[in-house]
Structure 1
């Protein structure tokens, strides 16, 4: 999932890949911290087994949501693949622009 998320972040901000990477890392770290805090709260109030059950239910809910909201039909290219292709296309365009010779125009 992190690869897909990073692809989405980069596709959303193709002009600023460094900023997108920093934002992705921050969001990922915040998510891990919130999950650890929630898991610790559950263990303090119940038992470690309850955390495992809740984690399994959360994974099932996430998988069901992903399948229900999927925009691509089964057997076709996934949206992560298309995002990766779009990111690669943007990178190629930027490389071509950097390699192009710069000419001065006088406007006369």
Structure 2
């Protein structure tokens, strides 16, 4: 179970980092994306969201082999992760299985 107190403190930073990833993907500047995702992964790990942490790690790995068509899938996965973190922060259960469809597409 995630530490919701800490999660409430870091949600804005996680959202900003994920927004930066989306901006960089849209600009074709994929090289800086892993750094931002690594920060998100560390934050999610810190609050105990192990499923979301693994999902974020999979996103990082996907960037190393993504071509132009793959960045759309990664962008969609980033949106899903952001929504998931926001949902958990607002009190919904931490059920990372919700991320599975995006994980499968990666």
- TM-score of the superposition, structure 1-length normalised? 0.27
Taking structure 2 as the reference length, the TM-score comes to 0.28
Answer with 1 or 2: which has the greater Rg.
1
Bigger helix share:
2
